[in-house]
Structure 1
Amino acid sequence: MTSETFRLGGELTVRRLGYGTAQLTGRGYWGPRGERADAVAVIRRAVERGVTLIDTADNYGPGLAEELVAEALHPYSADLVVATKGGVVRTSDSAWHVAGRPEQLRAMCEASLRRLRADRIDLYQLHRLDPEVPLAEQLGALGELRREGKIRHIGLDTVTVEQLKKALGLAETGSIASVQNRFNLIDRESEAVLEVCEAHGLAFLPWFPLANGALTGKAAAALDAVAARHGASRGQIALAWLLHRSPVLCPTPGTGSLAHLQENLDAAAIRLSAEDLAALR
């Protein structure tokens, strides 16, 4: 049986199936997607259903997703972990600019604290490594914020095995708690990164856990057969597969629909058999 929880940073127990806020924003994660009240209702319902890990970012909106999280959930319950990201500046729905200078990271973190109405961010993720800034300086800035009590744990987004190992060597022992790379049933390019996470007890938060709606083509036949056995949807099987694939995988699928939210969260109850896993392998 798969474990339903993970100890983030060795201390924060979260349900492994969380909720991501990107889909609450518009095309290119820019501006609102729909009515603000509807977005707030989805976030609240996720927590009512037992979600304890909320994943957001300062550039979703920009700023909007963090504001929605605060509106929906502040004051935060003691068992809720809110993760956000910094290190990327948005100037349009298609323009992303990596910004990893220490002063930029500090300013973005402090802005996130204000929008989230928080004194400390549980998991602050470096959204992209800045190739123009030494990694030691980027991690040093986050380490400083951690020592000041503004962040609790550090996460890394979209890293290679080499970058992750280098970061683990540079950062304060135990300060890095997670990695967020693209990983799903039909995209397993980060298998080697997952192995490093397993070896070091790091959470792996896969982005695009539902392949951004692309669970079709070659995967469809196997997915449909397994889904039929469980009376489930393709998406539910894809999420269940992630939960079975590794105990450190903590998917945070996003949606702006209450019905789709319910469907996603129900995937946690699906127990895949050895036959199912072999078919999906």
Structure 2
Amino acid sequence: MHYRTLGNTGEKVSAIGLGCMGMAFAYGQRDDAESRATLELALDLGVNFWDTADMYGQGLNEKQLSEVLATRRKDVFLATKFGFRYREDNSTYFDGSPAYLKQACEASLKRLGVDVIDLYYAHRVDDQVPIEETVGAMAELVKEGKVRYLGLSEASAHSIRKAAAVHPIAALQSEYSLFVRDIESDIIPTCRELGIGIVPYSPLGRGALTSDLRDVKDLDPTDFRRNLPRFQQEAFDKNLRIVSALEDIAAERHITLPQLALAWLLAKGDNITPIPGTKRRKYLQENAAAADIALTADDVARIEATLSGYQIEGERYSEGAMKLVNR
């Protein structure tokens, strides 16, 4: 495994991290035994940058990680997030208040079975709470030794600047892939200026940038992608044309499409560390191998020229969820 320095922290994290959400919910049925084996194999492969959140399975994912952390804590650079809360009807809302985030941190520490969280993200920006107040309270957690570094997720360049003026921000986690590139215009330049690492989530387009998914009808009935605009059959079918064109490029390089998508992100800058999610060992191994693939400037140019010939169909979230991103 190759390693990259995370933002301004000096910490070395695996160039390909591991998103753990799908082990607990969202992507069909759980497989706890396979998830545990995937976590253990990740460490054997040198994949030490693990990402979770308190909302993933309403705390379940953090508990899943705790089983491995109990004996391998020193081998993991551990990131989790706070802010989404559940109502009685199981709908969610975002709470970035100082009082709640301190409560959430204590709960995450307990579920994870750790004394300190390496990287603590605000899962979104709360439009009812000034970002300075949220980050100020997060900074108190650093002073108390409960958190080492602070991060933001889906924050605008304006919010990032205001947050960084209160306390150093180590990383920004946002959706970024061959399908989602809106952060390239001003958010990535802002992060580079401020020494903030970029952590792309869903770097494989929630599975669309693979060769495994060809029909949304194949998704498990409980899979949350069934409700996403981009995974409605008409939009998905149109996007398959893009997938097919990218597969041709990957085949010429003798790599898989997911490896091409991850290598493209790695080639976009040394401060970029994608965290493809998986709960299966075979996909983990495929993803981790992308760290060894170095695309040339010509490769990147060809990929982007190919993309320019298509229009990505469908939003990445529902209308309500889209209001929470990049704000």
Report the TM-score when normalising by structure 2: 0.79
Distance 1:181 1:72, change over 3 A: same
Shift of 1:221: 4.6
1:237 corresponds, among 260, 269, 273, to: 260
Deviations 1:129-164 (A, max 9, x none): 111112222111101111111101110011111111
Distance 1:92 1:57, change over 3 A: farther
Distance 1:58 1:39, change over 3 A: same
> What 5-or-longer segments of structure 1 have no aligned partner?
none
2:192 corresponds, among 192, 198, 203, to: 198
Shift of 1:91: 4.1
CA contact (8 A) 2:19 2:201 kept: no
**One-letter amino acid matched to 2:197:** A
Partner of 2:114: 118
Tell me the SS of whatever aligns to 1:272: coil
Q: Distance in 2 between matches of 1:44 and 1:93?
A: 35
> What 5-or-longer segments of structure 2 have no aligned partner?
210-238, 305-327
Q: Distance in 2 between matches of 1:35 and 1:229?
A: 35
Shift of 1:225: 2.7
Distance 1:212 1:15, change over 3 A: same
Deviations 1:89-125 (A, max 9, x none): 1348972210111111000000000011111100000
Partner of 1:46: 42
CA contact (8 A) 1:8 1:14 kept: no
Partner of 1:149: 145
CA contact (8 A) 1:85 1:125 kept: yes
Partner of 2:79: 83
Question: Which protein, 1 or 2, shows the higher relative CO under an 8 Å CA cutoff with sep ≥ 6?
Answer: 2
Aligned alpha-carbon RMSD (Å): 1.9
Identity score, percent:
36
**One-letter amino acid matched to 2:258:** G
Distance 1:165 1:92, change over 3 A: same
Q: Distance in 2 between matches of 1:251 and 1:7?
A: 11
Q: Distance in 2 between matches of 1:93 and 1:154?
A: 31
Partner of 2:288: 265
Tell me the SS of whatever aligns to 1:74: helix
**One-letter amino acid matched to 2:164:** L
| Aligned: 1:103 with 2:102 | no
Distance 1:142 1:78, change over 3 A: same
Q: Distance in 2 between matches of 1:91 and 1:213?
A: 29
Aligned residues: 273
Distance 1:112 1:14, change over 3 A: same
Tell me the SS of whatever aligns to 2:200: coil
Q: Distance in 1 between matches of 2:242 and 2:188?
A: 21
CA contact (8 A) 1:210 1:238 kept: yes
Q: Distance in 1 between matches of 2:142 and 2:72?
A: 20
Partner of 1:21: 20
